[in-house]
Amino acid sequence: MRREIFDEDHEAFRQTCRTFIARELVPHLQEWEEAGVVSKEAWRKAGAQGLLGTAIEERFGGGGVDDFRFNVVLDEELIAAGVTGFGAPVHNDINVPYLTKLATEEQKQRWLPHFCTGETVTAIAMTEPEAGSDLQGIRTTAVRDGDEYVINGQKTFISNGINADLVIVVARTDPDPSSGHEGISLLVVESDAPGFERGRNLEKIGQKSQDTAELFFNDVRVPARNLLGEEGQGFVYLMQNLPQERLSIAVASAAGAAKALELTKEYCKERTAFGRPIGKFQNTRFELAEIATEVEIGQVFADRCITEHVRGELSIEHAAMAKWWLTEMNKRVVDRCLQLHGGYGYMLEYPIAKAFLDTRVQTIYGGTTEIMKEIVGRQLGF
């Protein structure tokens, strides 16, 4: 489909991304899938190519262009190449706003240069074993002790958790449960801090090369200067930045559905049954027609949300709508495309099988479909 949200600079960046991914990432996919983690060298190469921190100021080594469309280009090219485990979207799309909008000048000087070179990989630790979508239910604590905070608690399902050198930790600085969201703050923990431990690299059904870990904080002392923003305002900051995270997931979902459609169209042209290509059967054509229509409608809405976000106008409810509808659409499309592949769709040597596994989590992370509908429903006045 024709898209009008990109200009020549974005398309030039797309070519850079496409070339880099084909040269530096795709040849190692099987190796990283088996290892459960992308190599640190790949991160450094991505940094050297200018793919990390495009929204960060040039004086820190970033691209100096606060334009989410560049993030979109990289996200789309990763999906198009079948690279679902490289955690750049977490690094670029989710974590950059916290570090650029909340960090002090001193913090920026410490963290951002290595962020952009890929020498520092970042993660954000929200989810806990007993608190997922309900962030007010977190139990990890950060108690002020002089010029330090002492952090205790456990996080789980943390993307980039094994590779992370810098972790933005959502913690309760007010131990009084009645403080609710007002007792939550954001603290940055460097991975060499005593008491910080990584647990298992969790074994998942999909996105195998994306390292997803348990993290443990046992009397971890971090300097008070590692507080991001103001104490007690962490929940507010999360709510301000979650729309971009959800839009990032929606973008990946739209790209994933488009990729599944292309794979299936090619398969239906080549695969024969009863003496003719299966694409010649009416049922197959109708299925593909429905899929193509959904993919195009989804892309139009995704592009509208991207445009709104670039203008600083993306609402919480539109981000939630995009997140739930596009992830559910992608799940539905991939399932139907796998069916059209027949028995071969169940074989991992076919990309549609990997897409089936990789796609499933998208309706869960970043806020489940059910939570997104709750957000939209509340905005409707209920």
Residues annotated as part of the active site: 245
- Residue that is written with structure tokens 């991914």 in the block: 21
- For 17, the token pair is 């991304």
Max Cα distance, the chain (Å): 79
Cα–Cα–Cα angle for 356, 362, 365, nearest 5°? Answer: 145
CA distance 14 to 73: 6
Using CA of residue 209, residue 164, residue 98, residue 365, what is the dihedral sign? positive
Look at the block and give the residue holding tokens 């603290």.
187
- The CA distance from 95 to 241, in Å, is 9
